């Protein structure tokens, strides 16, 4: 089964709200480091390694 652009767009919209909430909560603990938080989340969500 091939995914259409519409299907993928809907999935991204659903996941983006989760990531936004996660970024907001982490931002309460790590203040003033938005760039680092974004990179950490990219690494974690992509199942990669992170060097900070």
**Predicted confidence pLDDT, tens digits, the chain (52 residues):** 688 999 999 998 988 899 899 999 999 999 999 999 999 888 888 877 766 6
pLDDT in the model for residue 46: 82
27, burial (CB in 10 Å: exposed 0-12, middle 13-18, buried 19+)? middle
pLDDT in the model for residue 3: 81
pLDDT in the model for residue 1: 62
Q: How far apart are CA 14 and CA 31, in angstroms?
A: 26
**Helix and strand totals (H; E) in the chain:** 2, 0
pLDDT in the model for residue 48: 77
Residues 6+ apart with CB under 8 A from 32: none
Q: How far apart are CA 9 and CA 47, in angstroms?
A: 22
């Amino acid at each position: 089964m091939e995914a259409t652009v519409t299907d993928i767009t809907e999935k991204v919209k659903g996941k983006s709200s989760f990531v936004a909430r996660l970024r907001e909560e982490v931002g309460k603990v790590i203040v003033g480091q938005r760039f680092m938080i974004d990179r950490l989340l990219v690494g974690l969500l992509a199942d990669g390694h992170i060097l900070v």
